[in-house]
Structure 1
Amino acid sequence: MTDPLITQLSPMPEDWQRALAVVAHPDDLEYGCSAAIASWTDAGREVAYVLVTRGEAGIDTLPPEECAPLREQEQRASAAVVGVSTVEFLDHRDGVIEYGPALRRDIAAAIRRHRPELVITLNHRDTWGGTHWNTPDHVAVGRATLDAAADAGNRWIFPELTEQGLEPWDGVRWVAVAGSSSPTHAVDATDGMERAVRSLLEHRAYIEALTDRDPEEYVREFLIGFAREAGKRFGGRPAVTFELFPRAWA
């Protein structure tokens, strides 16, 4: 039974057709967001992924030139599990992504290419829930994505994009931040959870370098535990949470 004293989360908007997810690394979306994406693609919505790096600095035992193609392959397989076929990489350097105009321009270009109504990114704040320090890559990409949602619609910011044939896109209605400690909305994870588990398991090389535990046991405990905890604020249903930032005129 839901505790009436716990502030409940609102359902995510459903009156949209195209979404673009922009994150720093392979596996960022799979650590908690894939169940929502599976439910959206099941409903016939289009979701594309843009990865700012190839995650080449993510496995200590693999040099970057070997790690990058492996993690790219794992990411494409992972996306396919939840119905996403478009996966792009911007080739910024893993671990040292810099917030600034170059990153905003690359993300704005991706938004102009894909013309989404909903943009998804990852926690852009300094910490995870005030406890664990966030990585500079996540902070930079999250902040730049929030900014690029507006940049994409302004033809006088990065005019070179228009010269390249990427016309302004002012159709982003929301930016949804996954992994936020201040969520406002949620998606029921029930139907998408098994595919979310399989999707994260596609990052097997990364997971096996991260933990000595059985990969499936580790993945199930992590994803189901977070979904159940989030469900306390979503009518008792397992949930994927988002902090939703509407555009001013949405």
Structure 2
Amino acid sequence: MTEQLKPMPEDWRRALAVVAHPDDLEYGCAAAVAGWTDGGRDITYLLATRGEAGIDTLEPEECAPLREREQRASAAAVGVSRVEFLDHRDGVIEYGVPLRRDIAAAIRRHRPELVITLNHRDTWGSVAWNTPDHRAVGRATLDAAADAGNRWIFPELTEEGLEPWDGVRWVAVAGSSTPTHAVDATAGLERSVQSLLAHRTYIEVLTDEDPETYCRTFLTANAEVAAERFGGRPAIPFELFGR
């Protein structure tokens, strides 16, 4: 028998979702976010880049503000009003101290109990190679969750008025090939389709399929695969690291 996924913890109020690009969260876990915001939880999105290198036919200077607008609309579709960008360069994000510091600063600023990120491993299920940006941001987020609580790491943040925050209780990784937990996607699935569809400019150059059909098919199929390990309910899986 396939081991069943556990329900995600529910005893939290604030979350910070940290990813590399516009659309990462929409492909990964927007249905879960919709359910959480319905329940009154406060969620902030933090993106390392503005996705400016994501569309071959658009110069980065033109692409960045367009993708930022689409990301804000996408977040609003699932009840998220706070979207921040770190302005690292799309495609060449480097794992290292500066990235850890930027994410730790955001964790101190927003003081989440739950931090969410995307697959930080080398591959997607040992089938497709993951991108450098995803790997760098995912790893840095896992590390920054601890950095944020140590006053002697990045002491300059304290001088800037960002007191240490050791209140992160979990880091949840979406898109993991080894998930441990899941969220019922039933209530949020339709809004997750609209959330991904908000990235229409990107999707239209990604596929020749009708954008709404593409979004609905992709997200529904993924939720149904996870259902096999979540009591038959469509689900968004996460690999959960406790702290």
Name the TM tier (shorter chain): over 0.9
Contact 2:227 2:233 in 1 (8 A): yes
What is the DSSP-based 3-state SS (H/G/I as helix, E as strand, rest coil) of the residue aligned with 2:27?
coil
Q: Which of these residues, 207, 213, 217, is aligned with residue 217 of structure 1?
A: 213
Ranges in structure 2 where 5+ consecutive residues have no aligned partner: none
CA distance in 1, matches of 2:227, 2:34: 18
Q: Which of 221, 234, 240 is 2:236 aligned to? A: 240
Indicate the SS of the match to 1:242.
Answer: strand
2:194 corresponds to: 198
Question: Shift of the alpha carbon at 1:6?
Answer: 1.2
Matched residue SS, 2:44: strand
State the 4+ residue runs in structure 1 displaced beyond 3 angstroms: none
1:62-119 deviation per Cα after TM superposition (whole angstroms, max 9, x unaligned): 0000000000000000000000000000000000000000000000000000000000
Partner Cα distance (1:153, 1:213) in 2: 46
State whether structure 2 residue 132 is matched by structure 1 residue 127.
no
Structure 1 residue aligned with 2:68: 72
Matched, 1:112 2:114: no
* Residue number in structure 1 paired with 2:16: 20
Aligned to 1:167: 163
Q: In the alignment, what sits opposite 2:42?
A: 46
CA distance in 1, matches of 2:164, 2:52: 32
* Matches of 1:217 and 1:85, distance apart in 2: 26
Please tell me the residue identity of whatever aligns with 1:67.
C
Q: Check the 8 A contact 1:32/1:226 in 2, yes or no.
A: no
> Does residue 231 of structure 1 match 2:204?
no
Q: Distance in 2 between matches of 1:212 and 1:185?
A: 34
- Would you say the 8 A contact 1:21–1:119 is kept in 2? yes
Is the contact between residue 28 and residue 118 of structure 2 (CA under 8 Å) also seen in structure 1?
no
How many residues align structurally?
Answer: 243
Q: Deviations over 1:22-68 (max 9, x none)?
A: 00000000003000000000000000000000000000000000000
Identity of aligned residues (%): 81
Q: Indicate the SS of the match to 1:49.
A: strand
Whether 1:148 and 2:144 are equivalent positions in the alignment is: yes
Distance (Å, rounded) in 2 between the aligned partners of 1:87 and 1:128: 26
Letter in 2 for 1:95: G
User: In the alignment, does 2:97 pair up with 1:95?
Assistant: no
| Cα distance in structure 1, aligned partners of 2:93 and 2:184 | 32
TM-score (norm 2): 1.00
Deviations 1:153-203 (CA, angstroms, capped at 9, x unpaired): 000000110010000000000000000000000000000000000000000
Contact 1:35 1:196 in 2 (8 A): yes
In 2, the alpha carbon distance for the partners of 1:243 and 1:6 equals 16
SS at match of 1:167: coil
Over the aligned positions, Cα root-mean-square deviation in angstroms equals 0.4
Q: Quote the Cα distance in structure 2 between the aligned partners of 1:203 and 1:228.
A: 23
Aligned-partner Cα distance in 2 for 1:23–1:227 = 20
